[in-house]
Amino acid sequence: MSLPIGSQIQSSSQSAQSQTASGLSTTSHAHGVLQGYDPARLFCEMLRPGQPPHPSLTLLMSRLAALPIESLRRRSADAERDLLERGITFTVYSDATAIDRILPFDLIPRVITPPEWQQIETGVIQRVRALNMFLYDIYHDRKILADGIVPRELVLGNAGYCQAMVGFDVPFNTYVHVCGTDIVRDETGAFRVLEDNARTPSGVAYVVENRHMTLRVMPDLIAGLRVRGVDEYGLRLHNAMAEIAPAGVLNPQVVVLSPGIFNSAYFEHVFLAREMGIPLVEGRDLTVEDGRVWMRTTAGLAPVHTIYRRIGDDFLDPDVFNPDSMLGVRGLIEAWRRGTVAIANAVGTGVADDKAVYAYMPRIIRYYLSEEPILPNVDTRICSEPDALAYTLEHLHELVVKPVAESGGYGLLIGPHATKAELAEFREKLKRDPSNYISQPTLKLSVSPTLCEDGVRPRHVDLRPFAVTGRDTWVLPGGLTRVALREGSLVVNSSQGGGSKDTWVLE
């Protein structure tokens, strides 16, 4: 995932307001590590211009300001070593070598106040409801297509649309059991959803591990502050997985299905299995006999009732999808269709988190729930629409243009940062295949104080809360805050110089 760049155009009233706020902050914290910290016109998650003070936040800032920078650096080095030793790493493969990399941890937390969390939580729940209703609809009656709210071709012709799901019912009509909603904040402090991750969103392990890290290396920062806990995730997820298990099973056997130890997110798979207290299996540990899924144990074949899978649709079952897949389980989809096993997330959710479908999410929410989106989208133009394409081509230098099929921040154009040659080249690509692109205005993303080489500096952040849905939806308080560590960078992806922060939801 990637964040678009801030707009160069700024209304004078906004900048005046922001400058006042940051001016205040520099006078009240003009010592310690916050000395010289100046977010200028950007919305700062800690100083929060124009918002009422929160006592915990005030205390946090004075504790932070009292810390010598040397102490922060030492702790930061401790944290880095700790992550490597604990193997809280992702594996990067280049040529024949495998390197274990850490997601850099910035030890200054990102803070969310109770009213902000209230909006995020209700907004995420609303969005997950709409996503599930949308998925049910497009795999059943297709009313939303018939009513012309979302173009038929966009859905039915989408690579993420799964024929095997047509007419198939899932428990509680829940398709997206785990959802990661990427949220940013613009220069006015308004939250906006950047994208939905409804397939196999990752990162939740870092939410919990980052908290543990704070408790280890910054105990004096968090001591006595009322911060919402994050340790419930495994239990909540396990309960949801048990809820969706086939009816009549008393103690359902849940497993985490991983591609294996060479997968870059393997640490998270370990984390999930450990937190849920269930086996971490690979495709080769499972088999389908008599239309049911079994796992190979030391006692023989034992029944499996729910599979929390962390492998993509295409690799799940060589009978139905990619016939070359070595990661999946032959016959799994057939067993699922018979109702003898539950799979989370459901197959075919990719159509709902598609970047082009994303543009329709506000309309999708209004259509099914008759409610306004609690968390608005970033204004998005769908380049397959002629007007949108014309606008995008005309304003290319000030827009972010993203290919709809890519992830990881690859293949996108950040207009204000591009050279003339890059713009010209991209213009041709866009004209050749407009339906592959969406465009968005560049946002001035919010920042959070971050330990950098030259001191504590403002760096852009986003937020990915995790929602777990069985019968109902529960949102883990907080989420993964990613931070773009390079000055001015808006790309928070771990593969491109991003780090992460502990996220504190205050009580």
Collapsing DSSP to helix, strand or coil, 112 comes out as strand
> Under rule CB under 8 A, which residues in 196-255 are in contact with another protein?
253
Q: Can you give the C-alpha Rg of the chain in angstroms?
A: 23
Residues contacting another protein: total by CB under 8 A:
30
Tokens representing 378 are: 């970033």
Cβ–Cβ < 8 Å for 468, 32: no
Tell me the window of 36-44, 123-131, 230-238, 290-298 that interacts with another protein (CB under 8 A).
Answer: 290-298
Residue 289 near another protein by CB under 8 A: yes
Return all residues near 113 (Cβ < 8 A) that are at least 6 apart: 48, 51, 54, 57, 506
Return all residues near 299 (Cβ < 8 A) that are at least 6 apart: none
CA distances (Å), 207 to each of 64, 113, 127, in order? 21, 17, 21
CA distances (Å), 22 to each of 37, 303, 493, in order? 9, 60, 28
Residue 486 near another protein by CB under 8 A: no
Residue 152 near another protein by CB under 8 A: no
Instruction: Between 267 and 437, name the residue whose CB sits nearer to another protein.
Output: 267
Nearest distance in Å: CB 101, another protein: 14
Secondary structure of 325-371 in the HEC alphabet? Answer: CCCCCCCHHHHHHCCCCEEECCCCHHHCCCHHHHCCHHHHHHHHHCC
Nearest distance in Å: CB 297, another protein: 4
Binding mask 253-282 for another protein (x = CB under 8 A): x--x----x----xx-xx--xx--x-xxxx
Binding mask 84-123 for another protein (x = CB under 8 A): -xxx------------------------------------
Neighbours of 47 (CB within 10 A): 26
Residue 298 near another protein by CB under 8 A: yes
Nearest distance in Å: CB 105, another protein: 17
Nearest distance in Å: CB 255, another protein: 9
Burial class (CB in 10 A: 0-12, 13-18, 19+), 101: middle
Nearest distance in Å: CB 227, another protein: 23
Residue 284 near another protein by CB under 8 A: yes
Residue 338 near another protein by CB under 8 A: no
Interface residue list for another protein (CB under 8 A): 85-87, 253, 256, 261, 266-267, 269-270, 273-274, 277, 279-282, 284-285, 289, 294-303
